[in-house]
Amino acid sequence: MCAKPFFFCLLRSSNNILCNRFKMDSAEDKFCLREVLVSFKSCLLNDDKDVLVEHYLTGWKGLVRFMNTLGTVFSFVSKDAVTKIQIMENYLKGDNGERYRTLRSMVEYELSGNLVDLTKRSSHPDSGCRTLLRLHRALRWLQLFLEKLRTSSEDSKTSTLCSEAYNDSLANYHPWLIRKTASVAFFALPTRNTFFEVMNVGSPDVVVEMLGEALPYVSKVYDFTQELYVQRNLLDLP
């Protein structure tokens, strides 16, 4: 771990990615937008009335690969997302894994069993409800950012697009230092075309078309989660 404060480590690493074409170390880790599309499309159950947690996590793994292609710029989100994904996968593999098969069954199980810290973190600091809420908040940011990329012009500043998406979503849950660090790090983001190259599906026109196909499914998953958490008063879990 870098001995210097996270702020300076992030800035130093971010400088190394300017004007570069980003590549992953192996084919297994290579991001592909099509895989994210399939995962989030597969999430939805019963006419969009429930979400399969396993496919949700698979979609998130794809989004983590996307963030990792950009070096450390998004590490303040991707590292936390990896931790949250591991927690949820442990629930799925555990003795009560069937209870965590869908988002609705997880919420009902944890609330009925008093397995959620509703007002302060105490006996259940890593409940499934709280863990998935953190992924849910970050998903909104990526959803907004990718939509801005899709609808922007070729010469649009990705730093501005990303900052706008962040300020409208995830920034509301971050302390000042992280917000400041993020706003500076975003200046190291590559061009729109470089982002599209990272998505590994073809030309910019093909990427725009596929984003137009994928993002509605991401939105449906987000909207269902948001509605369920509103109904059960879970949006402000500590």
Q: Compute the distance between CA of residue 218 and CA of residue 214 in angstroms, rounded to an integer.
A: 7
- Residue given tokens 């003795």 in the structure block: 95
Q: Quick one: 30-231 is in which CATH superfamily?
A: Glycolipid transfer protein (1.10.3520.10)
Q: What is the pTM of this model?
A: 0.86
CB 231 within 8 A of CB 220: no
Q: Give the tens place of pLDDT for each residue, 174-233.
A: 999 999 988 898 998 999 999 999 888 899 999 999 999 999 999 999 999 999 999 999
For 127, half-sphere exposure in the C-beta direction (CA atoms, 13 angstrom radius) is: 26
In the three-class reduction of DSSP (H, G, I as helix; E, B as strand; rest coil), residue 180 is classed as helix
Q: In the predicted model, is pLDDT for residue 6 greater than 90? A: no
Q: Compute the distance between CA of residue 112 and CA of residue 238 in angstroms, rounded to an integer.
A: 19
Interhelix angle 6-15/176-185, nearest 10 degrees: 10
Model pLDDT, residue 29: 64
Q: What are the backbone dihedrals phi and psi of residue 22, each rounded to the nearest 5 degrees, phi first?
A: -90, 135
Name which residue leads in pLDDT, 12 or 106.
106
Largest CA distance in the chain: 52
User: How big, in percent rounded to 5, are the helix, strand and coil portions of the chain?
Assistant: 65, 5, 30
Model pLDDT, residue 20: 39
Q: Give the tens place of pLDDT for each residue, 85-140.
A: 999 999 999 999 999 999 999 999 999 999 999 988 888 889 999 999 999 999 99
CA 169 to chain centroid, in Å, comes to: 12
Q: Give the tens place of pLDDT for each residue, 22-54.
A: 333 344 567 888 888 899 999 998 787 899 999
Q: Compute the distance between CA of residue 231 and CA of residue 189 in angstroms, rounded to an integer.
A: 37
* Whole-angstrom Cα Rg for the chain: 18
What does the chain come to in residues? 238
Confidence of residue 2 (pLDDT cuts 50, 70, 90): very low
Percent of the chain with pLDDT over 90: 69
DSSP 22: P
Q: Both tokens of residue 161?
A: 């697009």
Q: Both tokens of residue 50?
A: 């429930």
Model pLDDT, residue 171: 95
Q: Give the tens place of pLDDT for each residue, 53-84.
A: 999 999 999 999 988 887 788 888 899 999 99
Query: How is the chain split into domains, by residue range?
Result: 30-231
| Average pLDDT of the chain, as a whole number | 87
